[in-house]
């Protein structure tokens, strides 16, 4: 690669770096609740949420449960566990090992200090626990939903739980799947109900007993299951995402896909609905929508009436960032429920950056309509024989209570070395006057070198190096008036072989002065693809209708009107 290519690539990497970082950032606001009932004695618990950092400490759980917890045991076998569990373990016989970790409440005389025998201190979502309680009580976990995931150990007992309906949903009795339906699934790790154990009993004396096929699979409960074969089973309904553990749109992505697979032997009816997070306002769920697979219409819910066994169906979720306040993050929960009782909740989040500061926007207007010459500036438009593209460069400066939009014909982006040495962040600066470039030589004495890239537009000739001020509000409507002077390089009469070249009036003014009235009307939907807008639409990508009225080509009273669509991309915030 030559030196120019290396410089260009270095600048390009800098421009897109922020996009990558923002895309993978997750939100802590996608909150749901799981209430766990605790019986006196031993309890087998499956945690389907990742508790918030403030609530995941075992000591905090102990306090919120009313101090009734005597011990919390976590089963977390390493990938290459040497000793596999042949029979369900009597909880009273548990010992700390590679597979088992324990937390004990601190003794009364050591408040604020951990129990010396404790080997772990925080709860993790998606894991099973054995909790011993002094009396009956409950604990409500608040946190980000944890997607189903089980790492089955073959020829061993596994302590696992499943994502299913609770006995009651919104006060109404709900459908719960039975063990018979689970055992009939082709990928379930065992076909014998005697290989599945639940912890039952009363008066503090609870023992492991095999389940019956008609017994319900209970939400929040962990079971010992002997896996006779390798398996990837997580439930009769499997849900997969494009990436990560949630639908995290960040500031860039507009659409993400959820894929549902029927892992059972029966047809499944599936309902999907978007709900606000526990700590989010109701209208936050309006930020997101499910796209109808046929019409493309947005909806807060969608029903798959029939998903045959073994088949998959993909559903697109998209975000409308115009509903998000600048600098804020909206969250929601995508709830997926089957008629047979499976229930999976997916966290959803999207962010919108702040629009204050200076931003460089670069894009293209595609002209595809033109009028006949007329004295009417609103003459009827006709399709062009072919599209004509016009480069647009806008520099937008937003401060609280003020905004300026400037149309440029040239911009030079500079990648500057850090102000505080090699350990600092590189800066991006935009020059609108090429004559100033000599004042920014390459940095010396370290590995950083100033790189530049020049962006120009052949469609405009603006004398003022600061650009042409545009009236109006960016992302709503802006307009400006341009004059093509007789000596301007864009003046079509400036040609030595043109019969009117250099013609002057008696007063010395050009009879062929040309004026251009340009307007940009921004639209809420992408004018090139309203159904599937580009990533970052309405945040880092905007667009709308481009229109221009050109006067003076034939006479001072005759105008030509042109129109098309435009799209602008925000390159990067500009340094001071």
Considering the domain architecture, whether residues 112 and 97 belong to the same structural domain is answered as yes
The residue among 181, 204, 227 that closes a domain is 227
Q: 167 with 161: CB under 8 angstroms?
A: no
* Structural domain contains residue 19: no
List, run by run, the mean pLDDT of 10-residue segments along the chain (576 residues). 41 36 41 90 92 77 90 82 61 82 80 76 90 92 90 89 78 79 94 92 78 94 92 94 89 88 94 80 68 84 94 92 83 91 92 78 96 81 94 90 91 73 65 73 46 85 90 95 83 68 54 85 93 80 95 81 95 58
Whole-angstrom distance, CA of residue 288 vs CA of residue 279? 16
Residues 320, 260 within the same domain? yes
**CB-CB contact of 382 with 374 (8 Å):** no
In the prediction, which pLDDT does 385 show? Answer: 93
Residue 6 lies in a domain: no
Q: Examine residue 2 and state whether it is found in any structural domain, yes or no.
A: no
Which one-letter DSSP state was computed for residue 90? P
* Nearest partner of 71 among 112, 109, 115, 111, judged by Cα: 115
- Provide the pLDDT for residue 419: 63
Model pTM?
Answer: 0.70
**How many domains are there within the chain?**
4
Q: Are residues 59 and 159 in the same domain?
A: yes
Pick the last residue of a domain from 456, 486, 519. Answer: 456
pLDDT score, position 72: 94
Q: Are residues 280 and 305 in the same domain?
A: yes
557 in Cβ contact with 511 (< 8 Å)? no
Q: Are residues 80 and 57 in the same domain?
A: yes
Pairing of strands 247-248, 343-351: parallel
Report the alpha-carbon distance of residue 270 to residue 302 in Å, rounded: 8
**221 found inside a domain:** yes
Distances (CA, A) of 126 to 38, 48, 263, 495: 18, 5, 20, 75
The CATH number that applies at residue 332 is: 2.60.40.10
301 Cβ contact list (under 8 Å, min separation 6):
271, 272, 273, 274, 290
Look at residues 193, 227, 261 and tell me which one is the last residue of a structural domain.
227
Is the same domain home to 132 and 260? no
Q: Which two tokens stand for residue 453?
A: 């890239």
**In what order do the strands lie in the sheet containing 451-456?**
427-431, 410-416, 451-456
Instruction: Mark whether 145 and 197 lie in a shared domain.
Output: yes
* Residue matched to tokens 């009363």: 202
Pick from 492, 489, 487, 468: which is nearest to 479 by CA? 468
Residues 6+ apart with CB under 8 A from 439: none
DSSP 132-186: EESS-EEEEEEEEE------PPTTEEEEE---B--SEETTEE----BHHHHHTST
Contacts by 441-444 with C-beta closer than 8 Å and gap 24+? Answer: 443/416, 443/417
Shared domain for 468 and 327, answered yes or no, is no
Residues 223 and 275 occupy one common structural domain? no
Residue found by looking up tokens 């319900």 in the block:
216
Residue with tokens 């008696």: 506
Q: Considering the domain boundaries, does residue 52 fall inside one?
A: yes
Q: Are residues 430 and 564 in the same domain?
A: no
Predicted local distance difference test score (pLDDT) of residue 88:
72
Q: How many residues are recorded in the chain? A: 576
pLDDT for the residue 443: 39
Task: Say which residue the tokens 């159904």 belong to.
Answer: 531
Do 131 and 276 belong together in one domain? no
In sign, the C-alpha dihedral spanning 111, 112, 116, 122 is positive
Burial of 237 (0-12, 13-18, 19+ CB in 10 A): buried
Residues spanned by the domain of 440: 410-456
Q: Which residues pair with 414 in a beta bridge?
A: 429, 452
pLDDT of 503? 54
DSSP state of 253: -
CA distance 525 to 329: 21
**Rg (alpha carbons) of the chain, rounded to whole number:** 33
Residue 169 falls inside a structural domain: yes
User: Is residue 403 domain-shared with residue 414, that is, in the same domain?
Assistant: no
Residue 400: what pLDDT? Answer: 78
């Amino acid at each position: 690669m030559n030196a120019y290519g290396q410089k260009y690539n270095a600048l390009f990497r800098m421009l897109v770096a922020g996009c990558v970082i923002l895309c993978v950032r997750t939100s802590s606001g996608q909150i749901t609740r799981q209430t766990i009932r605790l019986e006196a004695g031993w309890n087998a618990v499956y945690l389907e949420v990742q508790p918030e950092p403030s609530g995941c400490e075992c000591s905090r759980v102990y306090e919120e449960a009313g101090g009734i917890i005597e011990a919390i045991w976590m089963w977390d076998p390493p990938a290459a566990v040497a000793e596999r569990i042949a029979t369900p373990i009597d909880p009273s016989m548990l010992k700390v090992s590679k597979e088992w970790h324990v937390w004990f409440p601190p003794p009364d005389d050591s408040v604020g200090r951990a129990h010396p025998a404790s080997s772990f201190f925080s709860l993790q979502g998606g894991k099973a626990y054995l909790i011993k309680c002094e009396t009956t009580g409950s604990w409500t976990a608040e946190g980000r939903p944890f997607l189903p995931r089980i790492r089955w150990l073959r020829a061993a007992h596994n302590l696992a739980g499943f994502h299913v309906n609770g006995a009651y949903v919104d006060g109404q009795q709900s459908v719960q799947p039975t063990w018979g339906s689970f055992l009939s699934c082709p990928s379930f790790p065992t076909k014998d109900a005697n290989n599945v154990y639940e912890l039952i009993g009363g008066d503090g004396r609870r023992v492991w007993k095999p389940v019956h096929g008609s017994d319900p699979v209970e939400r929040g409960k962990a079971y010992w299951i002997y896996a006779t074969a390798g398996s990837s089973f997580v439930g009769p309904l499997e849900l997969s995402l494009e990436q990560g553990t949630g639908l995290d749109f960040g500031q860039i992505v507009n659409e993400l896909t959820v894929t549902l697979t029927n892992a059972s032997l029966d047809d499944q009816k599936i309902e999907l609905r978007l709900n606000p997070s526990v700590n989010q306002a109701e209208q936050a769920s309006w930020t997101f929508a499910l796209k109808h697979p046929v019409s493309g219409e947005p909806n807060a819910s969608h029903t798959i009436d029939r998903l045959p066994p073994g088949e998959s169906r993909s559903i697109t979720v998209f975000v409308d960032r115009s509903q998000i306040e600048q600098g804020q993050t909206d969250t929601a929960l995508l709830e997926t429920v089957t008629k047979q009782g499976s229930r999976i909740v997916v966290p959803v989040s999207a962010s919108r950056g702040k629009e204050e500061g200076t931003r460089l926007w670069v894009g293209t207007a595609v002209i595809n309509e033109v009028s006949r010459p007329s004295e009417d500036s609103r003459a009827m438009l006709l399709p062009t024989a072919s599209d004509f593209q016009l480069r647009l460069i806008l520099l937008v400066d937003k401060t609280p209570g003020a905004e300026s939009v400037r149309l440029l014909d040239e911009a030079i982006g500079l990648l500057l070395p850090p102000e505080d040495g090699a350990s600092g962040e590189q800066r991006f600066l935009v020059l609108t006057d090429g004559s100033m470039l000599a004042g920014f030589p390459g940095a010396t004495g370290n590995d950083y070198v100033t790189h530049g890239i020049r962006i120009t537009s052949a469609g405009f000739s603006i004398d003022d190096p600061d650009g042409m001020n545009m009236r109006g509000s960016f992302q709503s409507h802006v307009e400006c008036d341009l004059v093509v002077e007789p000596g301007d390089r864009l003046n079509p009469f400036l040609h030595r072989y043109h019969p009117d070249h250099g013609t002057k009036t008696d007063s010395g003014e050009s009879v062929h002065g040309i004026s251009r009235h340009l307007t940009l009307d921004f639209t809420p939907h992408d004018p090139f693809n309203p159904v599937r807008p580009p990533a970052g639409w309405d945040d880092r990508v905007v667009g709308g209708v481009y229109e221009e009225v050109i006067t003076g080509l034939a006479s001072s009273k005759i105008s030509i009107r042109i129109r098309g669509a435009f799209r602008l991309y925000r390159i990067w915030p500009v340094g001071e």
